[in-house]
Amino acid sequence: MLSTHLFIDTNVFLKFYHYSKDDLSQLRALIENLKAGNVTLHLPQQVLNELERNRERVLKDSADIFKKESCPTQIPRHMLDYAQAKEYADAVQIAIRARNSMINQASSEAANHTLLADKLMIELKEKANVYPERANIFARAKERAEKGNPPGKPGSMGDQYNWEYLLENVPPGDLHIVSKDGDFASILDSNMPRPFLQKEWLQQKKGALHIYSEIRPFLIKHASTVNGESNVVEYADPDADFMHPTNEEMVLVHQEIAHAFAEEKNKAIEKLVNSERFIDTHIAIDKLEEFRTALTKEDVERLFRAAFSNNQILWIASDADVYSFFKALLEEDEHEIDNALVDTAVQVFGLGPAPEDQDPYQD
């Protein structure tokens, strides 16, 4: 079985120490797929160094936000006589004590690098292909940054450094990139790779780039559940069982991830289909962008029918986000969805052949 090649940017790992849609079950699932050989994770040392440099800052920021979360202790005067008033006041005090206890425990474990996120990261590194720093690759990254070539922001060359490592070490074929900062993604469509990088990868690796903002969508599409006796691993430390779920537990994790992902996707579809205001349409489109690559033929056809019948979508079909979203759906699925829907979509969204495809001699 061929392994799927994956790169995860530092900003994604840092989110496991902050607030994120991904949770630690995604890291567990990824680790199991690394063990089984389903996925190969490529980690330049630069990613790990950047994670270590920023870990404490992110931990402090998340703790500060958690501390500031409101636990209202005051009760309106006209409600003080209710029987539930004391129950509420007691519950608030319990919540405050629990929060303080969690913050203190997390602070202690963070100092010792014994947070569950830390332990999972250690195991992840052990199963990944980690590439030590090399002066010649750093020189190429510096030259890349000086030329202004992506990825990366002006004044920084960490992304260029990582990219040069990937070009050097990942075998020919497709590469899947999980990153939250958009440096690897197209400016026009955050679900697509930056054209400059896509062209470079195609020329050097004869493969395509695939972009994700979270680990979960990657796992849903490309990872496999780990089944069979041959994939059972014995662990010497009995106190660390929570770090090494059984095959049955991993199947459940994958099922839970898939179920939650499908549920979120369906809710996002419903929001757009039943949009009652232009602003609701824009919000729904933004949410659906997260799930676009996971939409089925039936999902796409339903969305197009909604675009034709719901005026809150139809009347703003030319707005940049709406147009871009449906144009991408049409281009990705035009050979699969109903031909009548394709014809209507071409008319509604003003889509036609590109200028270079038109006959210059036609009347």
pLDDT tens by residue, 99-114: 899 999 999 999 999 9
pLDDT tens by residue, 40-61: 999 999 999 999 999 999 999 8
pLDDT exceeds cutoff 70 at 356 = no
pLDDT exceeds cutoff 90 at 177 = yes
Residue 243's pLDDT is what? 46
DSSP string, 261-296: HHHHHHHHHHHHHT--SHHHHHHHHHHHGGGGGG--
pLDDT tens by residue, 276-325: 888 888 888 888 887 877 788 888 989 999 999 999 999 888 888 888 88
DSSP helix, strand, coil percent of the chain (3-state; round to 5): 65, 5, 30
pTM over 0.85: no
Phi-psi region of 143 (alpha: psi -120 to 50; beta: other; left: phi over 0): alpha
Residue 164's pLDDT is what? 97
287 by Cβ neighbours in 10 Å (0-12 / 13-18 / 19+) ranks as middle
> Which residues are CB-contacts of 333 (< 8 A; sequence separation ≥ 6)?
297, 300
Is the separation of the CB atoms in 236 and 223 below 8 Å? no
Peptide bond into 171 cis (omega under 30): no
Strand (E) or helix (H) holding 212? strand 209-212
